[in-house]
């Protein structure tokens, strides 16, 4: 299986700024996305291993089947995010807002 070329954080943010929300399968391993607004983005199947998403706004984002292994989501806004079948081993969700999120096992947080 061939690994996709990593997308630079600046490229992701500029695409998001002009309205792009489709980042399916993107390689964002180790990306520094602290305090970034990425609400409503589609990161399904994306590789976010080791990414720093501290205080990021990912509300209503689709992270289905994404890899978040070792990612830092401390204080992230994950309201209504879809985490179905997402790989979250060793991810840090400390003080993250998971209200209404669909968890990897399909359970909706209240």
Three-state secondary structure readout of 75-108? CCECCCCECCCCECCCCECCCCECCCCECCCCCE
Residue 58 is classified by DSSP as -
Helices and strands: H and E segment counts in the chain: 1, 0
Question: What is the pTM assigned to this prediction?
Answer: 0.93
10 Å Cβ neighbour count for 81? 28
For the chain, give the longest Cα–Cα distance.
Answer: 39
Residue 110 has pLDDT above 90, yes or no: no
- Mean pLDDT, to the nearest integer, of 17-21? 98
As a residue count, the chain comes to: 110
Q: What is the pLDDT of residue 107?
A: 86
10 Å Cβ neighbour count for 99? 14
Q: What is the CATH number of domain 26-110?
A: 2.160.20.80
């Amino acid at each position: 299986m061939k690994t996709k070329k990593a997308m630079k954080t600046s490229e992701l943010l500029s695409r998001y700024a002009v309205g792009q929300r489709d980042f399916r399968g993107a390689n964002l391993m180790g990306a520094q996305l602290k305090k970034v607004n990425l609400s409503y983005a589609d990161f399904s199947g994306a590789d976010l291993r080791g990414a720093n998403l501290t205080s990021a706004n990912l509300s209503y984002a689709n992270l289905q089947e994404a890899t978040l292994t070792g990612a830092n989501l401390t204080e992230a806004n994950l309201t209504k995010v879809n985490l179905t079948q997402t790989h979250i081993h060793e991810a840090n969700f400390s003080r993250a807002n998971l209200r209404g999120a669909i968890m990897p096992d399909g359970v909706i947080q209240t």
